[in-house]
Amino acid sequence: VLANLAGRGVAGACEEFSLEQLREQMELNFFAAAEMTRAVLPQMRRQGSGNVITVSSIAGLVAMNAAGPYCAAKFALEGWTESLAIEARPLGIHVTLVEPGAFRTEFAGDVNMRPTQRIEAYRPSIAPFETYLAQSAGRQMGDPAKAAQRMLELVTLTAPPVRLMLGRDAYAMWDTTLAKRQQELNAWRERGEDTAFDGAELTEIQL
């Protein structure tokens, strides 16, 4: 069993972070998990079994103001890990993304990466999230012990899920985002679909 748990958040507008900070976010929140996973896969393939549990975030599914670099890394982690889950399942290897909401840890505190500059034009759009981080620290509804128990349950299942979302706040955020995305996609679907060569037939992508 491999559990990828390391991560660090951010608090600031996308433009305020340096490229070096963006790379640091990708290194810790994406590449580190990918590297650890690649290190154990050969042994798991040889034995024909294994569990990889990778902690992502609801921010890997839902973009948030004042958290752009973190969301970018988690979106990358989601895509890579879900692809791996499809590839590894026939080999007896189970891969699960864990997508927590807010849990009562130090994650929302001073450990968050801060930008190298402050651009006042962005204050109105990111101030609510920064205020939320400050006010919620130590008061999040999520219980880390219960989250850990749910993660431990994954290794006892014969068919664990590819995704395990944790926290009522995460589910609420996802429900709202999914509805908005579907509405926007539907509004543009006719125009978006009308982009094929004349007379071309649909060939569905096989997964």
pLDDT digits (tens, 9 = 90+) for 175-192: 999 999 999 999 999 999
Q: What is the pLDDT of residue 92?
A: 98
Q: What is the pLDDT of residues 110-167, one digit of tens each?
A: 667 899 999 999 999 999 888 877 777 767 788 899 999 999 999 999 999 999 999 9
Catalytic residues: 70
Q: Residue 205 falls within a domain, yes or no? A: no
Q: What is the pLDDT of residue 103?
A: 76
Q: What is the pLDDT of residue 76?
A: 98
Tokens linked to 65: 């103001």
Q: What is the pLDDT of residue 129?
A: 81
Domain count, the chain: 1
Q: What is the pLDDT of residue 14?
A: 96
Share of the chain above pLDDT 70, in %: 97
Structural domain boundaries enclosing 129: 2-167
Q: Residue 187 falls within a domain, yes or no? A: no
**Residue 197 in 3-state DSSP?**
coil
CATH of the domain at 46: 3.40.50.720
Q: Residue 56 falls within a domain, yes or no? A: yes
- Report CA 188 to chain centroid distance, whole Å: 26
Question: Does the pLDDT at position 207 exceed 80?
Answer: no
Q: Residue 194 falls within a domain, yes or no? A: no
Average pLDDT, the chain: 93
Q: What is the pLDDT of residues 62-90, one digit of tens each?
A: 999 999 999 999 999 999 999 999 999 99
Question: Please, what is the angle between helix 68-88 and helix 19-26, to 10°?
Answer: 30
Q: How many residues does this entry show for the chain?
A: 207
Q: What is the pLDDT of residues 4-56, one digit of tens each?
A: 998 888 989 999 999 999 999 999 999 999 999 999 999 999 999 999 999 99
Concatenated DSSP letters for 28-91? IIIIHHHHHHHHHHHHHHHHT-EEEEEE--GGGTS--TTBHHHHHHHHHHHHHHHHHHHHHGGG
Q: Residue 207 falls within a domain, yes or no? A: no
- Report CA 167 to chain centroid distance, whole Å: 14
Q: What is the pLDDT of residue 123?
A: 94
Report the run of H or E that residue 96 belongs to, with start and end.
Answer: strand 93-100
Q: Residue 200 falls within a domain, yes or no? A: no
Nearest to 88 by CA among 57, 52, 39, 61: 52
Q: What are the φ/ψ torsions at residue 108 (nearest 5 degrees)?
A: -90, 5
Question: Does the pLDDT at position 109 exceed 60?
Answer: no
